[in-house]
Chain A
């Protein structure tokens, strides 16, 4: 059996690929690991909902799940924080170097060419 983290990942991937909100049963059908107990899928869906990554709506006796945001939106969120473009430094990451623009970038570009020529 896969680790919980990996299972969360594959379930998010399945739901991102779906066009419409899906039930736990439908999600289960897409999982490669056939031996997985349906309750495990339910547990993971529940965990992801509590973490705020999924929204769920009632459909008869079952819940239908859908991602709270697209994969690209999450990637953008990570990158904004990674590049310190969010305005605050809440996560206080240590970044390798920041990009600069305009004349500032020209100075660096010139230095790069010089270093590469030597």
Chain B
């Protein structure tokens, strides 16, 4: 019963994610959409592993979490327990469920560790070669002709801009870019992205996972644009975006992958909603999306705890 419910929930999440990657209302309420994405992601993981474990532990009649406890107790005392807990389908489901759960957790943890290391190296290099500029107080400047502006996240996040970007932008545009980057710093968007990038490592061939990650990346940029437009001219933010998009590509040293990333669509979508903002998403629909997010996020843990 629990197994079927969790299985259905996993299926709903997978199909929902697939439909959701092409939804366009999300551009009108990026923050709500990001929350919904996070709920779908975590629920999918818990529901898929939970469904496998619920089936495997059915003979104990204690639900998922209780079943795990009963299984551990019976294993510790010499394997006495319901006989049919050890037939082939139940054992296979158990192994699959535990392995999937372990892979999801370890890959996310490994991704986090690798990210922290890469950032530490990046931070150390920045400390050695970046400089202050009186024109942009509090921002690290790297002397390079390419156009780059980014946020190095961490406990003390740093906004970094290249000398090329400083030359490219007018003062108003520069203010807009910095407002956008401070939004990333403030809202810790890197933490939002981390589990989605990790999932992409677990399932690199999945188109849904790839589209999901790209969509969450775009929504995060839109959320930062929305916050920035409160402090700067949206039009200047739009022209800054277009200037970055058309900046001369950086000459890449031999050996580095030189593929200029992505297409113009992401930039164009952001420009359009900055220049001609559509009507805000009706409050009713936003509330509906939030309710859906909350019920999804609550349902999977509840089903794990359910004793039957």
- Chain A contacts to B: CB under 8 angstroms: 5, 8-9, 12, 51, 53, 71, 74-87, 89-101, 104-105, 107-109, 111-112, 115-116
Contacts and interface: CB of A to CB of B under 8 A. Distances in A.
Contacts, number: 170
Nearest to B149: A96
Interface in B81-132: 114-115, 117-119, 121-122, 124-129
Q: Is the interface of B mostly helix, strand, loop or mixed?
A: helix
A94 B271 contact: no
B171 to A, nearest CB: 15
Contact of A75 (B114, B142, B147, B275): B142
Contacts of B190: 92-94
B125 A78 contact: yes
Contact of A93 (B129, B152, B261): B152
B68 interface: no
Best-surrounded residue of A87, A97, A98 (most CB of chain B within 10 A): A97
19 contacts: A12-B129, A51-B124, A71-B129, A75-B143, A79-B250, A85-B250, A89-B197, A90-B114, A90-B117, A91-B118, A91-B119, A94-B181, A94-B184, A94-B189, A97-B266, A98-B261, A112-B239, A115-B242, A115-B275
Contacts of B189: 94
A41 to B, nearest CB: 16
B294 to A, nearest CB: 26
B253 A76 contact: yes
A52 to B, nearest CB: 9
Interface string B235-248: 10011111111111
A81 B259 CA distance: 13
B54 interface: no
A107 B128 contact: no
A98 B153 CA distance: 18
A53 B125 CA distance: 9
Contact of A107 (B117, B149, B150, B264): B264
